[in-house]
Structure formats: C-alpha cells, structure tokens
Amino acid sequence: MGYIQTTLIGNVDAEPKLFTTEKGYQILTIRVKVESRKKANGTFQDFKSWHTVKVFGDRCAELATLSVGDLILVKGEPRRNKWTNKEGQEQISWEIAADYAEALQTGAAPPVSLGRENGTPLAAAADEFDDMPF
C-alpha cells in the first residue's frame, strides 16, 4: 500500500468556505492558485494552476479567517471525486485532502521570497541548469 503526498505553496484565490456536517464535523474548502516560472526553449514561461483544498477538523476555524491573496502552505493527499452532473454526464475533479495547512503570509505583509538570498526566484536563477531536460 502506498501514499502520495502533494505540497502546494500558493495564494488563496477565493474566500474559504466552512461547512459543518450533521454530526458537527467541520470541513473547510480553500481554492489555492499556484504560480510558477519555468524555462522552456531558452525563455521563461509563467504557469498558473488552481487547486481545491479540503481541511478537516481543528484547523478549520483558524484557516477560515484567510482572505483572498493570503499565502498558504498545504501538504496532503490528492483525491479524485467522480459524480454525474444534471445532464447525466460523468464528471471527475481532483482535490487535496490536507494533512497539514499553514498560513505563511496574511494581510498586507511584504512578499515572501521563495528564491535565493538576493531575492531572485529560484526558477529565474536556474540559468546554470540550461542543459536539464525539464
């Protein structure tokens, strides 16, 4: 038996939605936008991806106070959801079931540098890796 873990560092892209089940269990849904920059064919390209994150239990109340734009770190397992829509078509979506989630930056704090000490993002400073196939 195995386990796949995904780590996301990105910005909250919509107001978090807090649900409480009939049995009183809390579930928080957070949309996270991840932006990255990669070098392809000699030029840097920007990539964006959006992810649905589900947080369960004790951390929900604290993370429900996050706002759009706040930086968040999430670690968890990707899960596939399958359902049939109103038109009778089968739909599939993916979400991250968070084992760990933490707000890294909230409000109007200065941006976090995820790169080298001089502030250059890691992907932009990757010129020495030009020969890498990815």
Domain boundaries of the chain, sorted by first residue = 6-129
Asked if residues 102 and 112 have their Cβ atoms less than 8 Å apart, the reply is no
DSSP symbol at 15: -
Count other Cβ atoms within 10 Å, centred on residue 68.
12
Q: Which of the two residues, 130 and 64, has the higher pLDDT score?
A: 64
Give the pLDDT band (50/70/90) at residue 124. Answer: very low
State yes or no: pLDDT of 11 exceeds 90: yes
Partners of residue 105 on adjacent β-strands: 71
What class is the 6-129 domain? mainly beta
Pairing of strands 90-105, 43-56: parallel
User: What is the DSSP pairing of strand 6-12 with strand 71-84?
Assistant: antiparallel
CB atoms within 10 A of CB 72: 23
Distance of CA 11 to the CA centre of its chain: 7
Top pLDDT among 125 and 40 is at 40
Is the pLDDT score of 119 beyond 80?
no
Q: Is the pLDDT of residue 125 over 80?
A: no
Mean of pLDDT values over 50-75: 93
**What are the percentages of helix, strand and coil residues in the chain, rounded to 5?**
5, 50, 40
